[in-house]
Structure 1
């Protein structure tokens, strides 16, 4: 075909060529809209809608019926793609004869992949929220028109799948709301948008419902308490010298908790006329103890603390035996943590050695160690580091005995009776001789 003939062909079929170009633009619109609306942040759209952005409200209503939205966009995308390919094939057959079919296939594949799929979807995924807001109004109009057809198609698909025993709910999420939030926070932390301290605080809030009091309580072996049978002046001295404002009061046996003494109540009693430490009745100023089961989750216990306006509770097991105590501060520390700096080990019972290893007390909670060092040691079966070693080794290890699990090398440094009191932890690949 000569140049003049080609120009004549273009002059004759310019309308069809323009139509193909417009159809490619529509295809790009449908592809980009599908990607943007499915990737848009629902929380951000909700926030924008509350601030008066009408476009965000449209996006939220479109996302609410995601199956209808995607079905309508796919119908529109396929319609324009098929029509564009048909027009192009017809044009090229007229220009090149029967070989125009093969040429049209190659040309349209390249054009559709680049300009109707990869380019708009890459643009949409780069800024999904902005793209979604821009296309919200025209997409709503199209969904209003094609929506019934989309619902019909979805109904047919569901019926076909039901024949094979497959059923699904459009509003069913694979993850719980807490898992969704935790995943989002972890992702933002990896991307650098959320610092480690904020991630730990948010994670602490989300974990409250999954942790029990037994996971964070002060065990009875470490619990500071006052013996009501001691002379009053000794009780007063112990309370005033204690770093704690509240101390359990026991009588006869350490498990027999009869009250909780608040240092302010003690000071008020001592301020009364004619009251001296020697003649003070410590039991009278003690508050009634509050006993809680060790299986209570931290979320419920936090609400109970706030509702009762108390700060300390005695923890008991299913047999009523005292296991320890828990305070409001213990629960709050699960949220805010006790790390002063992201790079400093400001956690009691943990010390970093010059060789890079970590020396920890056996009683250090696994959660605190994970939070301080950004580790991921499991805490489902054990609460403390010593408990984890015992659980994994299925024994009470001897001193200088070493174990490797979860990517770490655990070396028992000190054991008192059956309690592991000190361990050294280093990376598993570091096999420096124990010394």
Structure 2
């Protein structure tokens, strides 16, 4: 009896091991495993041999699992027989009850649980159990090879196909998962380098409205204005390009480069350079390609109604990849003042996801807005007055500064921590 129980337990553990390694091998991040294989260690050499032929590895795990299940079924039947025969007089019913009990035990202990655990921790378990898996790989080598010869023959003759070659390329999702993992465990010195890879992966998902300079921050001048005012605007802002409009900012007719002023112009119109117009839903990788082909560096972003939504430059697009690029004219600093764990002072231009990540808050996020000011306007559906107090979920906002068109600074208080 004791020997039977020991054999049954060992069979269940082996079946769980084979089932788990099969799902771990399939679910593991290929990028992570390939980098692990590059290390000059015994484990790396074992992983190289195991993953060199994926079909044979999977076949080995299936062979081992089936052997374990056969042994388990035989001894489990012998163990249950004395307890079932006195109460069940029909051999078919005895066999049916044996099968149900054995199947329930094996499904829970050797299928569902190990596969769930090995799938969640696929990278770790594949490395931890690589050596015992390799031992079974060698033990069942000839059996697996024989089975693969038969399967290849059936695939080639019956289905007129052949086994797929080993895929060495990594998917974008696998690379993204690996980078996210490194961002969580890496130190600050390499975070910026890894972040560039993350930005590159997300680059194709960014639209013009996500990277543009908003309409309220556009520096522009009317085409009927004087050259003197234009020169003063260049000096005050330190910009190299200024947008020119006719009557209103919704009718942008071009832009002027600072170098054009050396031509001693008489009117602003004589200096106008053509400007590209793009929709705010356009992807920035397409914008970059378009501006590069046309040798342009700036474009006006328009909304669905044809009005000016913002402005985007080559620099804005590059910053989506490499982060903020500071130059001698970048003097804008956003207010970020942490009073205590529940009280803050913020510029309304700060992005909500940045605040949540930096200060461990849970401000509501939405595709309808990006900034803290956008969150408040979206909730109130108007521009609040100075000193007005607004409550959104578990947060209280006090407007510190506001202009006629936007919120400038807010005081944020956490009323209570959400679970």
TM range (shorter): 0.5 to 0.7
Asked if the contact 2:31–2:174 (Cα under 8 Å) also holds between the matched residues in 1, the reply is no
Deviation at 1:324, TM superposition (A): 1.9
Confirm or deny: 8 A CA contact 2:401 2:407 kept in the other structure.
yes
Equivalence for 1:386: 373
Query: Paired residue for 1:359, among 340, 345, 349?
Result: 345
Quote the RMSD (CA, aligned, Å). 5.0
1:41-52 correspondence to structure 2 within 5 Å:
41-46=29-34
Cα drift, residue 426 of structure 1: 2.9
| Structure 2 partner of 1:208 | 203
Look up the match of 2:126. Answer: 128
Deviations 1:83-108 (A, max 9, x none): 67689999xxxxxxxxxxxxxxxxxx
SS at match of 2:256: strand
**1:260 and 1:206, CA in 2 relative to 1: closer, same or farther beyond 3 A?**
same
**For the residues of structure 1 that align with 2:396 and 2:411, how far apart are their CA atoms?**
8
Residue matched to 2:51:
59
Match of residue 349 from structure 1: 334
Consecutive unaligned residues in structure 2, runs of 5 or more: 82-104, 153-170
Picking from 250, 256, 263, the partner of 2:245 is 250
| Cα deviation code 1:191-219 (max 9, x no counterpart) | x2465656654544344344422233222
Structure 1 CA distance, aligned partners of 2:177 and 2:362? 15
1:322, CA displacement in angstroms? 2.0
Structure 1: stretches of 5+ with no match in the other structure: 1-12, 91-108, 152-176, 341-345, 431-435
Q: Call closer, same or farther: CA 1:298–1:364 in 2, change over 3 Å.
A: same
Secondary structure in 2 aligned to 1:261?
A: strand
Q: Give the alignment of 1:146-165 within 5 angstroms.
A: none
CA contact (8 A) 1:247 1:262 kept: yes
1:107-132 residue CA offsets vs partner (Å, 9 max, x unmatched): xx9xxx89xx99xx999975523644
Change (3 A) 1:419 1:238: closer
Q: Decide whether the 8 Å contact of 1:27 with 1:77 is kept in 2.
A: yes
Q: Is the 8 A contact 1:217 1:324 kept in 2?
A: yes
Quick check: 2:335–2:409 contact (8 Å CA) kept in 1? no
Q: How many Å separate the matches in 2 of 1:405 and 1:233? A: 47
Does the Cα contact within 8 Å between 2:22 and 2:61 map onto a contact in 1? yes
CA contact 2:56–2:148 (8 Å) conserved in 1: no
Partner Cα separation in structure 2 for residue 371 and residue 328 of structure 1: 27
Give the SS at the match of 2:378.
helix
250-259 or 19-28, which deviates more: 19-28
Secondary structure of 1:323's aligned partner: strand
3-state SS in 2 of match to 1:409 = strand
- Structure 2 equivalent of residue 100 of structure 1: none
> Match for residue 158 of structure 2?
none
Q: 1:424 aligns with which of 378, 402, 411?
A: 411
TM-score normalised over the length of structure 1? 0.61
Aligned residues between the structures: 351
1:411 aligns with 2:398: yes
Q: 2:351, 2:371 within 8 Å by CA — same for their partners in 1?
A: yes
**Structure 2 residue corresponding to 1:77, chosen from 63, 68, 76:** 68
Residue in 1 that maps onto 2:285: 299
- Range that drifts further, 420-429 or 301-310: 301-310
Matched residues in 2 for 1:64 and 1:291: separation?
56
Are residues 1:324 and 2:324 paired? no
User: What's the offset of the Cα at 1:313?
Assistant: 0.9
Checking the alignment, whether the CA contact within 8 Å between 2:51 and 2:57 is kept in structure 1 is no
Structure 1 CA distance, aligned partners of 2:383 and 2:273? 40
Distance 1:65 1:317 in 2: 55
